[in-house]
Structure 1
Amino acid sequence: MEMIFIFIIYFVIGLLASTLGAVAGLGGGIIIKPVLDLFGHFDLPTIGVLSAATVLAMATMSLVKFRKKGHKTDKVVSSILAVGSIFGGILGKVIFNIIAISLNMPTVTGFIQSATLALLLTLIFIYFIKKDKLTSFVFKNRLIILTIGFILGFLSAFLGIGGGPLNVTILILLFSMNAKNAAINSIYIIFFSQLSALILIALTTGFSSYDLSMLVYMIIGGIIGGFIGSSIVIKMSNTQVEKIFNISILVIIFVNIYNIVNLLY
């Protein structure tokens, strides 16, 4: 009975994170990572795998839904960002593995992740409050776009978050997309970054050393969440998407702060 309850909890985590992730372009990893940190059932490398697999399932379902409904992504910008994020993600994962696994410093890594994430999300939240007063840009140089994607991929892989909030913010600030289009394009980028992260693990360490007992339940939640979230966002306005994004970011900031306090004490 207790195990069934645990299965349900992890299914619900995957479902809710993926639904919010698909609606606001968050991806879901930004929610899954701090929540699983909070539960403390798995080590950091395992959390990274669970998060990546769930987010990939969500992104796949969302993209299928968007395609059927005729919602197109800016494939030129998003594809270049995705390529950059793949290479950046490889470097980010390598550095994460060195610190968390090779040097065996999971507590230090967890603290760096939570503190960096809390800081980045706070800056993103402030940006969205002030963004109407700030200038947005339209970058067209492909090398610059590739470099931006590399940085996004590096941060996302090291922090284990899938990159959603960073993607959305950059797409609005540097490519002048509205919140809804940024959310949809963010899912496109996330699909490739998470796929590459899992392929990298498969080709290097393999999955045998990870505790993936909750993987199936979280992936099922990710698929259903991707379907629900993508169905919702299609019907929403830019303002509604933005509000959900801001509320989600604020909640995640507080969860990360709580995790930092737990690590310190």
Structure 2
Amino acid sequence: MEEIVIFIIYFIIGLFASILGSMAGIGGGVIIKPILDIIGLNDLSTISVLSASTVFAMATTSLITMLFSKKLQVRVKIASLLAIASIIGGIIGKSMFNRLLESFEQPDMLSIMQSIILACLMILIYIYQKKKDRWRTFTLHKTPIILMIGFALGSIASFLGIGGGPFNVAILSLFFSMTAKESSINSLFIIFFSQLSSIITMSVTKGFTELDLTMLPFIVIGGVTGGLIGSALLSRVTNTIIDRVFTIVIFIIICINIYNALKLLPSLV
């Protein structure tokens, strides 16, 4: 009975993270990772696989759904350049993560570092989101600059073990003058390729044989279901609602990561 409850919990985590992730373009990994940290049933490597797989399933489902409904509006050049660069950055970020994980005697130290960095970045994004109407936005076209931005996005997201959606949405809004709905859709396009790259990188480096992936089917099914629901909602809601959902989710993520960091600090003493 206890195992069934845990299976349901993982399904619900994948479901709600993916509904919000698909709607707001944040992917879901930024929600899944800190929540699984709180639950504490998996190590960092396993959490990375669970998060990446769920986000990839969600992004794939959402994009296919929007493609068939003819509501997939992607700025192909910008999104493709960002995606390509984020893949390269993701490989570097994952390599940095693996090296640090091996060098730390206490894995909790890396978890605390991730939580603090993620909380700080989310605070910056939250401030931008609340004040963005007062900010001047840009429409960048130069390929080298777009590639540099994509590389940075991929490196940070991969190192933190998240899909990178919140960063994508903020960057697409600030540097490419996209609306909330445009940012969400283009962010999902970028996330699809970055998470595919992350899964392939993990499979050819450390592999999955030593990981306990019992919960993988349940959280991924939640991701697929959430992707279907989220993409349907995205096509029906306004930019204002998407902005509100994004802001609320970012605030929740900040609170969760601060809690995670404070919870793990005593273990280092």
Q: Report the TM-score when normalising by structure 2.
A: 0.97
| Paired residues, number | 265
- The question of whether the paired residues in 1 share the 8 Å contact of 2:104 and 2:110 is answered with no
Once superposed, what is the RMSD of the aligned Cα atoms? 0.8
Q: 1:105 to 1:92 in 2, by over 3 A?
A: farther
Distance 1:101 1:176 in 2: 41
Distance 1:225 1:158 in 2: 25
1:115-134 matches, within 5 Å, as 115-134=116-135
Letter in 2 for 1:58: M
Distance 1:89 1:213 in 2: 25
> Who is 1:28 aligned against?
28
Partner SS state of residue 235, structure 1: coil
1:111-150 matches, within 5 Å, as 111-150=112-151
Distance 2:171 2:261 in 1: 26
Distance 1:89 1:106 in 2: 21
- The question of whether the paired residues in 2 share the 8 Å contact of 1:136 and 1:176 is answered with yes
Quote how far apart the aligned CAs of 1:103 are.
4.0
What percentage of aligned pairs have identical amino acids?
52
Quote how far apart the aligned CAs of 1:104 are.
4.3
1:1-265 matches, within 5 Å, as 1-71=1-71, 72-265=73-266
Q: 1:94 to 1:104 in 2, by over 3 A?
A: farther
Distance 1:5 1:54 in 2: 19
Q: 1:146 to 1:105 in 2, by over 3 A?
A: farther
Q: Would you identify which runs of 4 or more consecutive aligned residues in structure 1 move more than 4 Å?
A: none
- 1:185-226: per-residue Cα shift (whole Å, max 9, x none)? 000000000000000111121110111010000110000000
- 1:131-181: per-residue Cα shift (whole Å, max 9, x none)? 100100011001110110000000000001100000000000000000110
Quote how far apart the aligned CAs of 1:101 are.
3.0
Distance 1:83 1:104 in 2: 34
Task: Give the unaligned 5+ runs of structure 2.
Answer: none
Letter in 2 for 1:168: V
Task: Give the unaligned 5+ runs of structure 1.
Answer: none
- The question of whether the paired residues in 2 share the 8 Å contact of 1:99 and 1:105 is answered with no
- The question of whether the paired residues in 1 share the 8 Å contact of 2:118 and 2:257 is answered with yes
Partner SS state of residue 60, structure 1: helix
- The question of whether the paired residues in 2 share the 8 Å contact of 1:114 and 1:259 is answered with yes
- 1:18-60: per-residue Cα shift (whole Å, max 9, x none)? 0100000010000000000011111111100000000000000
Distance 1:147 1:79 in 2: 13
Q: Report the TM-score when normalising by structure 1.
A: 0.98
